[in-house]
């Protein structure tokens, strides 16, 4: 884990600032970095995390609280901390926590499954019980969406960004489905595995998805459904398209679990399972 190394671009995405800002901070000694023989700055994840937690990056909004003790391990305190930060709309704090947990050796898929997902489920339960307003739930969901986008560098393996030569992955939530956070997480993880990701996300009609799968010659199709289980036909339309491109169709979410699915759609229970499944799909990673 301690060998995790990020490029300037990855650090910039993680912190939500421009590359020039990261270079300025590095040159001023605010974030520790080292240079490759070619002169490029490289950042150890632990140094970036230290910067995020101690100095903070003031251009990205209010200072996130340092991750308290207990919230830097998997488990209840971490889920609670994540949920509270989401409800404050504090995406930088979410990123800081995820970075801290990555530093301890957890994969981003594991953190999505074991921290972000239970935190969101709890927020949903509290909304359903009338303890949270719709506005509060929306703020939390948006903060998680922001954090997922900024976490892309945390998903990527050490060193250089992966070359996108694994083929194309199409990632979407089915028609009628507004819940697309799981799809966003799946897109982030597939991108990190070297897939070029086309992610129409929420509410994508099956016919349009099928056309996209064919046009993009998708090698992975990842579909999500949370509330609707009447999705068998939609999935079947995608499976038919994917058969023509040699693509693998994986599905997940509460709606999919209850659905009558075609045999060629593989139901997965977690994003970690998707990572494993995707490793065997598409072209294998190029070695440099």
Q: Which residues bind ligand B12 (CB under 6 A)?
A: 112-113, 117, 120-121, 123-125, 128, 137-138, 141, 176-182, 185-186, 222-224, 226-227, 250-254, 268, 270-271, 274
Closer CB to ligand B12, residue 24 or residue 138? 138
Closer CB to ligand B12, residue 99 or residue 141? 141
Nearest to 70 by CA among 60, 62, 81, 59: 81
Tell the smallest beta-carbon distance from residue 271 to ligand B12 (Å).
Answer: 5
Closer CB to ligand B12, residue 47 or residue 137? 137
b/e code 120-152 from CB counts within 10 Å (16+ = b) = bebbbebbeeeebeeebbebbbebbbbbbebbb
Count how many residues are written for the chain. Answer: 288
Joined together, the tokens standing for residue 251 give 């599905």
Tell the smallest beta-carbon distance from residue 180 to ligand B12 (Å).
Answer: 4
Closer CB to ligand B12, residue 14 or residue 223? 223
106 phi and psi angles, rounded to 5 deg: -85, 145
Closer CB to ligand B12, residue 103 or residue 123? 123
Tell the smallest beta-carbon distance from residue 48 to ligand B12 (Å).
Answer: 25
Dist. CA 187–CA 181, nearest whole Å: 10
The DSSP bridge pattern shows strands 220-224 and 168-174 to be: parallel
Tell the smallest beta-carbon distance from residue 103 to ligand B12 (Å).
Answer: 21
Tell the smallest beta-carbon distance from residue 85 to ligand B12 (Å).
Answer: 15
């Amino acid at each position: 884990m301690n060998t995790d190394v990020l490029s300037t671009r990855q650090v910039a995405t993680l912190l939500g600032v421009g590359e020039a800002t990261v270079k300025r901070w590095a040159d001023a000694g605010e974030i520790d970095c080292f240079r490759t023989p070619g002169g490029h700055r490289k950042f150890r994840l632990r140094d970036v995390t230290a910067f995020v937690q101690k100095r903070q990056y003031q251009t990205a909004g209010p200072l996130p609280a340092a991750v308290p003790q207990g919230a830097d391990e998997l488990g209840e305190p971490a889920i609670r901390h994540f949920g509270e930060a989401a409800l404050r709309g504090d995406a930088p704090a979410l990123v800081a926590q995820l970075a801290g947990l990555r530093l301890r050796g957890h994969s981003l898929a594991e953190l999505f499954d074991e921290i972000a997902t239970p935190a969101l489920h709890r927020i949903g339960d509290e909304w359903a019980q009338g303890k949270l307003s719709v506005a509060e739930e929306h703020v939390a969901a948006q903060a998680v969406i922001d954090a997922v986008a900024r976490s892309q560098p945390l998903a990527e393996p050490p060193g250089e960004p992966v070359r996108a030569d694994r083929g194309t992955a199409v990632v979407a939530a089915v028609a009628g489905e507004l819940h697309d956070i799981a799809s966003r997480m799946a897109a982030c993880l597939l991108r990190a595995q070297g897939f070029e990701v086309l992610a129409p996300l929420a509410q994508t009609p099956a016919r349009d998805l099928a056309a996209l799968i064919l046009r993009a010659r998708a090698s992975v199709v990842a579909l999500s459904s949370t509330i609707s289980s009447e999705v068998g036909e939609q999935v079947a339309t995608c499976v038919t398209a994917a058969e023509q491109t040699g693509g693998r169709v994986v599905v997940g979410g509460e709606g999919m679990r209850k659905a009558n699915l075609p045999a060629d759609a593989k139901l997965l229970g977690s994003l970690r399972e998707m990572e494993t499944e995707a490793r065997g799909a598409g072209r294998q990673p190029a070695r440099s």
